[in-house]
């Protein structure tokens, strides 16, 4: 087994990871607090799904264009700007909660503002890693990113559950706003080890026609690379229908399990444990290259886990099933991300990764609204069963179709 921490030998990557782990813990605290707060205010599953939809709608609308725009920009500088915007938005959440003036419409507006910043932040993050490590260590770096993200997913929800139970949701927002400073500080120490071709071109100022032409060229490139198209289509179904915990879980814990914040945070922590293990294993196997096994069977395992959680509707079953779901999701996501990064040409990297961000995050509004409607009509239990069935059946049928074409 290879060293899972291989990429940490690069100073730039070490700075990046240190900032990210602090920021991600804060982000996961907010990911727990925000839907819980929305449900406590509204007691309406559809309204929770609307918050999620508005938070990811800007990614759906703008991430592809953002990918074409940022190709000519300094990615490090844009990352600093997006982090400052996210820090300000989260601080506004904290102020409104502490002053007891928070209303549902505030949550919707601030979630949308965060989505606009993330429409640029997400594709930049996806394409920035290759400027921190050489290509030989890229898969390890991406997997280690997932390890750090899911270490935060273990720690953040557990802390959030305790903090919310003892002091209220406002402190989760406050701590998250402070955590963004860690990323901003780390970026000042980073000196990218390489400059991508798209950043050294003479043409720095782009017209609308240039951006649209770049987007069209990017989609044409993806269409010609069938392996990339397959991964993007699979990611669409996984992101859209399997990762709706911000809608499903608050309703499931409150209405089905009749439990409170601490139990909600603990279930997400268990998911984080499974995710952390998956990311660590992928990082350990990084020198072997991406495995198609995870891309094919990871989503099927996610679907089965969701279906079983809906069938059992039991707290202890959730504590066992959520680590399985987390493990399968991260194993799939890390492998899919790395596979695309290794396949794509540098001059298309930002545009392709913006499409990846679109299907990996921008489709969440569709899934959130769909899940909110299902829960409103049939309850949280069937929300799990329906979403899990869609993911598992799609991947089974799609894998069968692909294998038949190859025979």
Most confident of 82-96, 265-279, 339-353: 82-96
DSSP string, 374-395: HHHHH-HHHHHHHHHHHHHHHH
- Give me the chain's average pLDDT, please: 83
Mean pLDDT value of segment 213-226: 85
More confident residue, 404 or 143: 143
Q: With a cut of 70, say whether residue 204 has pLDDT above it.
A: no
Helix (H, G, I), strand (E, B) or coil at 303: helix
Least confident window among 127-141, 218-232, 376-390? 127-141
More confident residue, 84 or 133: 84
Q: What is the pLDDT of residues 45-68, one digit of tens each?
A: 888 888 888 888 887 787 777 766
Domain 6-188+210-406 in CATH 1.20.1250.20: yes
Burial of 342 (0-12, 13-18, 19+ CB in 10 A): middle
State residue 194's pLDDT score: 55
Contact 185, 76 (CB under 8 A): no
State residue 76's pLDDT score: 85
Phi first, then psi: give them for residue 90, nearest 5 degrees.
-65, -35
State residue 404's pLDDT score: 65
State residue 93's pLDDT score: 94
State residue 199's pLDDT score: 47
State residue 201's pLDDT score: 46
Alpha-carbon span 136 to 341, nearest angstrom? 12
State residue 356's pLDDT score: 85
More confident residue, 378 or 289: 378
pTM of the model: 0.74
Extents of the domains making up the chain: 6-188+210-406
State residue 171's pLDDT score: 93
Total length of the chain: 407
Least confident window among 73-77, 97-101, 239-243? 73-77
Contact 122, 63 (CB under 8 A): yes
Tell me the residue ranges of DSSP E strands in 310-369: none
Q: With a cut of 80, say whether residue 290 has pLDDT above it.
A: no
Helices 349-357 & 315-343 angle (0-180, nearest 10): 160
Least confident window among 106-110, 292-296, 402-406? 402-406
State residue 178's pLDDT score: 94
Q: Percent of the chain, pLDDT > 90?
A: 25
Alpha-carbon span 58 to 98, nearest angstrom? 28
Mean pLDDT value of segment 260-267: 84
The first and second tokens of residue 207, run together, are: 């017209």
How far, CA to CA in Å, does 285 sit from each of 216, 257, 277, 282, 311? 36, 38, 12, 5, 34
Q: With a cut of 90, say whether residue 172 has pLDDT above it.
A: yes
Binned at pLDDT 50, 70 and 90, residue 11 comes out as confident
State residue 20's pLDDT score: 87
C-alpha angle 314-317-318 in degrees, rounded to nearest 5: 85
Binned at pLDDT 50, 70 and 90, residue 325 comes out as very high
DSSP string, 212-279: HHHHHHHHHHHHH-HHHHHHHHHHHHHHHHH--HHHHHHHIIIIIS---HHHHHHHHHHHHHHHHHHH
Contact 242, 384 (CB under 8 A): no
Q: With a cut of 70, say whether residue 243 has pLDDT above it.
A: yes
Contact 26, 176 (CB under 8 A): yes
Mean pLDDT value of segment 22-32: 89
Q: Percent of the chain, pLDDT > 70?
A: 91
Q: How many C-beta atoms surround the C-beta of residue 1 within 10 A?
A: 9
> What is the Cα 269 distance to its own chain's centre?
16
């Amino acid at each position: 087994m290879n060293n899972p921490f291989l990429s940490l030998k690069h100073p730039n990557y070490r700075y990046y990871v240190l900032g990210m782990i602090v920021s991600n813990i804060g982000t996961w605290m907010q990911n727990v607090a925000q839907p819980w707060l929305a449900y406590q205010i509204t007691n309406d599953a559809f309204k929770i799904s609307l918050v999620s939809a508005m938070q990811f709608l800007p990614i759906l609308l703008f991430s592809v264009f953002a990918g074409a725009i940022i190709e000519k920009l300094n990615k490090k500088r844009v990352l600093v700007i997006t982090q400052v915007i996210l820090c300000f938005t989260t601080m506004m959440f904290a102020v409104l909660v502490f002053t007891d003036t928070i209303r549902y419409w505030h949550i919707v507006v601030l979630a949308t503002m965060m989505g606009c910043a993330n429409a640029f932040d997400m594709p930049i993050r996806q394409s920035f890693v290759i400027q921190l490590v050489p290509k030989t260590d890229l898969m390890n770096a991406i997997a280690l990113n997932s390890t750090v993200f899911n270490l935060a997913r273990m720690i953040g929800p557990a802390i959030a559950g305790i903090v919310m139970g003892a002091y209220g949701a406002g402190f989760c927002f406050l701590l998250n706003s402070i955590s963004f400073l860690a990323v901003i500080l780390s970026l000042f120490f980073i000196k990218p080890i390489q400059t991508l071709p798209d950043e050294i071109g003479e043409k720095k100022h782009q017209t609308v026609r240039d951006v649209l032409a770049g987007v069209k060229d990017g989609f044409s490139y993806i269409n010609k690379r069938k392996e990339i198209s397959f991964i993007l289509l699979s990611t669409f179904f996984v992101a859209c229908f399997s990762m709706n915990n911000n809608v499903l879980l608050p309703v499931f814990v409150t209405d089905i399990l009749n439990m409170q914040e601490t139990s909600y945070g603990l279930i997400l922590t268990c998911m984080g444990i499974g995710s952390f293990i998956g990311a660590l294993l992928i990082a350990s196997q990084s020198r072997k290259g991406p495995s198609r096994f995870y891309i094919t069977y990871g989503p099927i395992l996610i679907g089965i886990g969701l279906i079983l959680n809906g069938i059992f509707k039991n707290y202890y079953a959730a504590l066992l099933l959520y680590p399985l779901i987390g493990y399968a999701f991260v194993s799939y996501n890390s492998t899919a991300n790395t596979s695309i990064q290794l396949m794509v040409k540098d001059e298309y990297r930002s545009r392709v990764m913006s499409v990846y961000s679109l299907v990996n995050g921008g489709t969440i509004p569709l899934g959130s609204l769909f899940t909110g409607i299902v829960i409103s009509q049939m309850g949280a239990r069937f929300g799990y069963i329906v979403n899990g069935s869609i993911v598992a059946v799609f991947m089974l049928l799609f894998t069968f179709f692909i294998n038949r074409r190859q025979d």
